[in-house]
Chain A
Amino acid sequence: MTATASAGETRSRPVQVWLLVWAVALAAVLVVFLLQDRLPWAVNYPASAVVPVADWVSALMRWIKSNLSWLTRSITAVLGVPLDFALNLLAKNFKIGHGAEAYVLPRLSWVGVCAAAFITGHAAGGRKLSLLVGGCFLYIALFGQWTSAMLTLGLISIAVPFCIVTGLFAGIWAWRKPWAERLIVSPALDLMQTIPTFAYLIPMLLLFGNSPVSAMIATAIFATPPMVRATMLGLSRVPSEIDDFSEMAGCTARQKLWRVLLPSARPTLMVGVNQVIMLALNMVIIASMIGAGGLGYDVLLALRALKVGEAMEAGLAIVALAIALDRLSQAIAHSQAKGHVHQEVSPSLWRRYPNLTLAIAILVVTTLLGLFVPALAVVPKAITFTTAPLWKAAVNWVTINFFDTIEAFRVALILNLLNPLRAFCEGFPWLGAVFLLGLAGYQLSGLRLAVLVAALTAFCAITGLWEKTMATVYLCGISAFIACLIGIPIGLMASRSDRFEKIVTPVIDTLQVLPSFCFIIPVVMLFRVGDVTAMIATIAFAVVPAIRYTNHGIRQVPPALIEAAKVSGCTPRQTFFRVQLPLALPEIMLGVNQTILMALAMIIICAMVGTRDLGQEVFIALSKADSGRGIVAGLAIAFIGIVADRLFSAWTAKARARLG
C-alpha cells in the first residue's frame, strides 16, 4: 500500500508538469489558428516555398525509364514466361502458331480444377474444408466468373512463390545480420506496408507498362513483407536447445539453417505464407488498374459504369476465392503446426501421395476430354446463372422505398459531422501540427521520436500537400474513431460471453480476408459516391482489429489475477473495471493502432468513390501516369501512417513497461 502510494506521488509531479506544457502548447497553437490572417504562412504552407520533390522524382523516373529500359524490358520478358504459362494454363488456352493455322492447346478444364479444389480441401482439412473450398470454386464457375477468377488465380500462383522465396532470403539475411535488420530491412518493411497500394502501381506502370507483368511485380512487392517478418520471427523463436543440438551434431552453418532451423520454424513460416497469399489477392485486385485483368478489372469496369449488379457479382466471386484460399492455406499451416502423424511409408508414389496423384489424373483426363466435350472446357452458358438483375432490383427497391431516409441520414452526417470537422482539419496550421506531434513524440519516447515525427509531418507540408494531408487525416480519423466506438464494445462483449464470441469470430475472420475493394461495392449501392460512402466502407473494413484485440486483451489477463480479485471481494463489475480493463489496455491500444492503419489504407482506395484527399491525388497521378506527383502523395500517406504508428507504439510500450 505504502509502496503504491509513494510511487503515485513520484509519478504525479511529472504528469502535472506535462499538463502545464500541453496547456501552453495548445494555447500557442490556438493563437496561431486565430491569427491566421496575420500569419498565413504558419497555417497554409506558402506555395512559393514548396520543395518540388515531385518534379525531382519525376525526373529520376524519366531517367530510369530512358536509361534502364533494357533492364526493365528484360525483366518483363523473363517474368513474362512463367506468368504467361500460368495464365494460359488456367484461363486463356495456349496458342501455338499464328492466324488461322494456329493450333490451340486447351486450358485446364473447369471441372478438373473444381475437382482438384475438392480433393485439396479434403487432404488439408477433411470433409468440411473440402466442401467449403470446392463449393467456392463451383460457385465461381456457376456464376459465370470462371475465366476472370482463373486469371486472378494465375497471377497469384506466380506472384506468391516469388514473394515466399524473396521473403525467406530477406528474412534470413536480416536474422543473420542485426545491423541489416535495424538499418535496412525493418525501415523498408515499415515503408512497404504503409505506402498505399495505389502508389505502388505508378512506378510499375511507368517502368513495365500496362501489363500483367507490372501487376505481378507490384503484387510481389506489396505481399512480401509478412514473409520477411515471419522468417525473422520464426528463426528467432527456434528454441536455443535445438540451436545447440545442431551445433553438437556437427552441422555446418548451411546444414544448420536449412535442415534444422528453417524446418523447426515451419509453423511460423506457414502463417507468413497465408498472409502473403491474402495480401497478394488483395493487391492483384487493385492492380487490375494497371492491366492485371481478372476479377478486379470486372469490378472496376462495373463500378465506373455504376453497374451495381455486375460489380456485386464479381465482388462476391472475389470473396469466394478469398475464403477458399484463406481457409485452405490456414488449414495447411495448422496441420504443420500440429505436426505430422506417423504412418508406414509405402514405396510407390501413388500410395504415398494419393490425393496429389488423383488430382493430377482428374485434371489431365477432364482437360483431354474437354477437347471433344466443350462443356468440360468452357462452363456452359446453360448451367450458369446470374444474380445481377436481382441485385439491381434490390437496390432499386431500397432506393425507391428508403431514399428519403437514407438521403436524410447522409445529409445530416455531412452537414453536422463531416463538414465542420473537415473545415477544422483543413484549416489547422501546419506549424502547429508539427509542433504538437513533436511534443507528443518527445513526451512518449524522447528526442529521436520527436524529430522523426516532426520531420515526417513537415514533409507533408513542404511538398505542398498540407490541405490534402489534413483531408486524409480527417476522414481517416473520423472513420477510425467510429470503428473503435463500434469495435471496442463488441470486443468487450465478446470477451465476456463465450457464446457471443463464437458468433463474432467467424464474422470478423471473413471480414478480414475480404479484399478492400469488396467493401466499397454495397455501400456505393446505397450511398452513391462521396465522403459518407468512404467513411462507412472504411469503418466496416477497419473495425476488425478493434474487436479482435479488445477481446484478446481482456481474455489474456491471467486467471490467477482474476481469482485474486474475486478473493479480495471484488464484484464482477469491479473485477472488470479495476483489474481486467487496465491490464488489457495496452493490447486494446494496439488494436486501435491497427484500426488506424487499416482505415488509412482503406481511405486511399476510397478515392475511387470520389473523396478529395491524398488518395485522390494518387488516383489522378495514376490515370495521368504522373509518377512524381503520385509517389510524393503516396509517401505523404505512408508518413501519416508511420507517425500514427510510432506514437501509438511508444504509448503502448510505455503502458506495458508500467504494468511490468
Chain B
Amino acid sequence: MTDRTEQEPNTAGAPKDARPVKLACRNVWKLFGSNAANFIRERDGKASMADVTAAGLVGAVRAVDLEIRQGEIFIIMGLSGSGKSTLVRCMSRLVEPTHGKVEFEGNDLLKISDAALIELRRHRMGMVFQNFALLPHLNVLENIAFPLSIQGQDRATREARAREVIELVGLRGREHFYPRELSGGQQQRVGIARSLATKPEIWFLDEPFSALDPLIRREMQDELMRLQMMLHKTIVFITHDFDEAIRLADRIAIMKDGEVIQIGTPEELVVNPATDYVAEFTRDVDRAKVISARSLMRACDGSEHGGTVAPEAKISSFSASIVAANKPFAVVNGSGKPIGEVTPQAVIDLLAGIERSGAGT
C-alpha cells in the first residue's frame, strides 16, 4: 500500500490490441428496488453510491464500461457481493440491466427480440456454472447433448458431437454415468463439455472452479488453458481468487461494490494498482511470474550482454540464467533489434521484494 511505486508503468512499445471487440458494456447499471429504472433514467445514467443508497436502492452493478476482445480471456475478479455474477448475467441477459447497453458485435443485446436471443444463446453463447448445474436425471452423454437436443438436432448427430467434446475434455468411458456418480472435477468437465457442444463464440465461465479442491482447481485451470490453445474462444471468466485470475487472464477487471475499479493486464495491475484496494490484492502475488522484461528494462548503457530475452518474457522464465550469467540481458523485439536491457541486480531486487524508485536504475 504505502510502498507501491508511483511511477507510470513502463509499457512503451507494447503492441496495441487490434482484435475486434466481441462484447462491450456501455454504462451498464443493475439496480434493485422500486422504481429503479426511473431513478437512473432521470439522472441520465449518472449517480453516485450515496445517491443510490439514499433512494433506497441496491446497486448491484454500477456504471460498468468495458470491452472484451475476440479471443481474449477476460477475467472479472471481485469478492462475494461485488456484483461480478450479476454483471456476467447482464452480459448474457439472464438479468435484465436497469440501464445502459450491452453490445454483442456492435448490436445492442438488450434490444433484440426473445426469439433472436434464444437463437443467439443456442449457437453463439456458452456458460459454465459454479455448481455445475448438471441435470440430475440425464447421464453424461445426454447432459452434453442436451443443448443440441433443445435445438431439435436428431439423436445421431447430437450424440456424435457430444462424443467429440467428451473426448476433448477427457471423459471417455464415463458417457453413461450420472452426475452424482462423478467427482466434482469430473462434473465440471461435463459442464465444460456441455457448454462447448454448441461451438459457442463467447464463453461465460461463472466461478467454474470455485467449488473444487485446490489441487483439482489447478488441474482444471491447466485444462482450460489447454482447451483455449486449441479453441481460441472469447472467454469471460468470473472468479474471486486473484491467483487464479493472474494465472489465466489476458486482462482483469477488478470489481468492488458493483463498480469496476480497474481494468488491465495482470502486469499492469501489479505494477500500477489504481487504488489501495487493488494493491491489497496484488501484494502477495509472485511478481516474477507476472512482471515481464519490458517493465523491468532500462535503456542500454553499452555494457556487455549475457543473453537476449523477448519483451513479453516473464522474469521468472530467465531469472535463474541471468543471475548465473551475472551480466545484463538485452531485450530484443521481434526483428531482433535491442530495445533495452535488464540487469541481474534488477531481477534480484524483484525476487527479493526490494522496491527501488524506478525499475533497474
A260–B137 Cα distance when bound, in Å, is 9
Q: Which among A242, A244, A339, A345 has the greatest number of chain B C-beta atoms within 10 A?
A: A244
- The answer, among B120, B127, B147, for a CB contact under 8 Å with A244, is B127
- The answer, among A266, A341, A344, for a CB contact under 8 Å with B137, is A266
Specify the chain B residue showing the minimal Cβ separation from A255: B150
Specify the chain A residue showing the minimal Cβ separation from B120: A250
Q: Which among B119, B123, B138, B179 has the greatest number of chain A C-beta atoms within 10 A?
A: B138
Q: Which among A248, A266, A339, A343 has the greatest number of chain B C-beta atoms within 10 A?
A: A248
Q: Is the CB of B147 within 8 A of A339?
A: no
Q: Is the CB of A245 within 8 A of B129?
A: yes
Given the known interface contacts A247-B121, A248-B126, A250-B119, the answer about A340 and B133 at a Cβ–Cβ threshold of 8 Å is no
A660–B129 Cα distance when bound, in Å, is 31
A344–B118 Cα distance when bound, in Å, is 34
Specify the chain B residue showing the minimal Cβ separation from A248: B127
- The answer, among A242, A252, A338, A345, for a CB contact under 8 Å with B135, is A242
Q: How far is the CB of B280 from chain A (nearest CB, A)?
A: 30
- The answer, among A242, A250, A339, A345, for a CB contact under 8 Å with B133, is A242
Q: Is the CB of B135 within 8 A of A260?
A: yes
Q: Is the CB of A241 within 8 A of B129?
A: yes
Q: Is the CB of A245 within 8 A of B127?
A: yes
A188–B282 Cα distance when bound, in Å, is 59
- The answer, among A249, A251, A339, for a CB contact under 8 Å with B178, is A339
A37–B200 Cα distance when bound, in Å, is 86
- The answer, among B92, B125, B181, for a CB contact under 8 Å with A342, is B181
Q: Is the CB of A244 within 8 A of B178?
A: no
Q: Which among A241, A249, A263 has the greatest number of chain B C-beta atoms within 10 A?
A: A249
Q: Kindly count the residue-residue contacts between A and B in the assembled complex, taking CB atoms under 8 Å apart.
A: 78
Q: Is B177 in the interface zone, CB < 8 Å from A?
A: yes
Q: How far is the CB of B144 from chain A (nearest CB, A)?
A: 11
Q: Is B180 in the interface zone, CB < 8 Å from A?
A: yes
A345–B142 Cα distance when bound, in Å, is 12
A345 contact set on B, CB distance < 8 A:
176
Q: How far is the CB of B307 from chain A (nearest CB, A)?
A: 49
Specify the chain A residue showing the minimal Cβ separation from B182: A342
A340–B204 Cα distance when bound, in Å, is 29
A242–B133 Cα distance when bound, in Å, is 5
A244 contact set on B, CB distance < 8 A:
89, 94, 127, 129, 133
A249–B135 Cα distance when bound, in Å, is 12
A341 contact set on B, CB distance < 8 A:
178, 181
Q: Is the CB of A339 within 8 A of B92?
A: no
Q: Is B239 in the interface zone, CB < 8 Å from A?
A: no
Specify the chain A residue showing the minimal Cβ separation from B118: A250
Q: Is the CB of B94 within 8 A of A250?
A: no
Chain A interface residue count, Cβ-Cβ cutoff 8 angstroms: 25
Q: Is A578 in the interface zone, CB < 8 Å from B?
A: no
Chain B, 255-302, CB within 8 A of any chain A CB:
none
Specify the chain A residue showing the minimal Cβ separation from B89: A244
Q: Is the CB of B94 within 8 A of A339?
A: no
Chain B interface residue count, Cβ-Cβ cutoff 8 angstroms: 35
B179 contact set on A, CB distance < 8 A:
339
A340 contact set on B, CB distance < 8 A:
137, 139, 178
A344–B150 Cα distance when bound, in Å, is 24
Specify the chain B residue showing the minimal Cβ separation from A343: B176
Q: Is B10 in the interface zone, CB < 8 Å from A?
A: no
B94 contact set on A, CB distance < 8 A:
244, 247-248
Q: Is the CB of A263 within 8 A of B135?
A: yes
Q: Is A389 in the interface zone, CB < 8 Å from B?
A: no
Q: Is the CB of A249 within 8 A of B121?
A: yes
Q: Is A495 in the interface zone, CB < 8 Å from B?
A: no
Chain B, 113-136, CB within 8 A of any chain A CB:
118-123, 125-127, 129-133, 135-136
- The answer, among A251, A252, A339, for a CB contact under 8 Å with B136, is A339
Q: Is B151 in the interface zone, CB < 8 Å from A?
A: yes
Q: Is B146 in the interface zone, CB < 8 Å from A?
A: yes
A344–B127 Cα distance when bound, in Å, is 29
Given the known interface contacts A244-B127, A341-B181, the answer about A250 and B137 at a Cβ–Cβ threshold of 8 Å is no
Q: Is the CB of A241 within 8 A of B131?
A: yes
B204 contact set on A, CB distance < 8 A:
248
A344–B141 Cα distance when bound, in Å, is 12
Chain B 69-80 interface 0/1 with A at a Cβ cutoff of 8 Å (1 = within): 000000000000
Q: Is A259 in the interface zone, CB < 8 Å from B?
A: yes
- The answer, among A248, A251, A339, A344, for a CB contact under 8 Å with B180, is A339
Q: Is the CB of A264 within 8 A of B135?
A: yes
Chain A, 225-272, CB within 8 A of any chain B CB:
239, 241-242, 244-245, 247-252, 255, 259-260, 263-264, 266
Given the known interface contacts A239-B131, A249-B150, the answer about A339 and B121 at a Cβ–Cβ threshold of 8 Å is no
B89 contact set on A, CB distance < 8 A:
244
Given the known interface contacts A244-B127, A249-B147, the answer about A239 and B176 at a Cβ–Cβ threshold of 8 Å is no
Q: How far is the CB of B90 from chain A (nearest CB, A)?
A: 13
A342 contact set on B, CB distance < 8 A:
139, 176-178, 181
A338–B179 Cα distance when bound, in Å, is 11
B127 contact set on A, CB distance < 8 A:
244-245, 248
A345–B198 Cα distance when bound, in Å, is 25
Q: Is the CB of B137 within 8 A of A339?
A: yes
Q: How far is the CB of A392 from chain B (nearest CB, A)?
A: 53
B123 contact set on A, CB distance < 8 A:
250
Q: Is the CB of A264 within 8 A of B137?
A: yes
A247–B137 Cα distance when bound, in Å, is 18
A241–B123 Cα distance when bound, in Å, is 20
Given the known interface contacts A340-B178, A342-B176, the answer about A250 and B139 at a Cβ–Cβ threshold of 8 Å is no
A343 contact set on B, CB distance < 8 A:
176
Specify the chain B residue showing the minimal Cβ separation from A263: B137
A248–B126 Cα distance when bound, in Å, is 7
A residues with a Cβ closer than 8 A to B are 239, 241-242, 244-245, 247-252, 255, 259-260, 263-264, 266, 338-345
6 closest A-B pairs by CB:
A250-B122, A241-B133, A250-B121, A342-B176, A249-B147, A245-B133
Q: List 27 A-B contacts (CB under 8 A).
A: A239-B131, A241-B132, A242-B133, A244-B94, A244-B133, A245-B129, A247-B94, A248-B92, A248-B121, A248-B125, A248-B126, A249-B146, A250-B118, A250-B120, A259-B146, A259-B150, A263-B135, A263-B137, A266-B136, A266-B137, A338-B180, A339-B137, A339-B178, A339-B181, A340-B139, A342-B181, A343-B176
Given contact pairs A244-B94, A342-B178, a sample of 17 additional A-B residue pairs in the complex whose CB atoms are under 8 Å apart: A242-B135, A244-B133, A248-B125, A248-B126, A249-B147, A249-B198, A251-B118, A259-B146, A259-B150, A263-B135, A263-B136, A264-B135, A264-B137, A339-B180, A340-B139, A340-B178, A342-B181
